[in-house]
């Protein structure tokens, strides 16, 4: 499958539709089962606090995966993402309540590259704090 977005139709500064992703303790348990990452900081509040965290936190790779969904939804093809990297700056704290947390993601085209590729810079926040830094993807467009 090829990205449905044309390189010629995209300009630097093009904003991708922002998205908000909910995260609950149940989400973390499901992700732990799928990923095999059962570190107690992701499900045991007592343990998380004992090691210096404010509460249970979301898996870093889960946070990273949710953020890139803004890009894959935009291009309609996960295979169009040819590079992706982030720095983890703050954890996504997931309280044990009915609401949990959210990851709010925005993104924009930061550069047009060779071979119909663009660099997309992402901003991911939770509780109004940036949780991913240097979050960038290179995307192959049509």
36, 86, 88, 129, 140 from 30: Cα distances, Å: 10, 23, 21, 25, 31
State which fold the 7-22+59-140 domain adopts: Thiol Ester Dehydrase; Chain A (3.10.129)
Q: Report whether pLDDT(2) > 80.
A: no
Q: 3-class SS at 65? A: helix
- Kindly provide the residue ranges of all beta strands, DSSP E only, lying in the chain, ordered along the sequence: 15-23, 81-88, 101-112, 117-126, 129-140
Mean pLDDT across the stretch 20-24?
A: 98
Give me the residue spans of the domains in the chain: 7-22+59-140
How sure is the predictor about 79, in pLDDT bands with cuts at 50, 70 and 90?
A: very high
Residue-level pLDDT at 4:
84
Q: What is the pLDDT of residue 55?
A: 97
CA atoms in the 13 A half-sphere facing the CB of 9? 7
CB 81 within 8 A of CB 68: yes
Mean pLDDT of the chain: 96
Q: What is residue 42's DSSP assignment?
A: G
Report the predicted TM-score, pTM, of the whole model to 2 decimal places: 0.94
């Amino acid at each position: 499958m090829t990205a449905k977005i044309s390189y010629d139709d995209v300009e630097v500064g093009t904003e991708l539709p922002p998205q908000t992703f909910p995260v609950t303790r149940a989400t973390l348990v499901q992700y732990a089962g799928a990923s095999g990452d059962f570190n107690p900081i992701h499900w045991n509040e007592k343990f998380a606090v004992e090691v210096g965290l404010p509460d249970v936190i979301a898996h870093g790779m889960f946070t990273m995966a949710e953020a890139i969904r803004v890009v894959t939804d935009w291009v309609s093809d996960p295979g169009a993402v040819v590079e992706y990297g982030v720095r983890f700056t703050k954890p996504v704290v997931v309280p044990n309540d009915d609401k949990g947390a959210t990851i709010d993601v925005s993104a924009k085209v930061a550069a047009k590259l060779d071979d119909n590729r663009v660099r997309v810079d992402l901003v991911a926040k939770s509780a109004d704090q940036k949780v991913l830094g240097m979050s960038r993807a290179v995307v192959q467009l049509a």
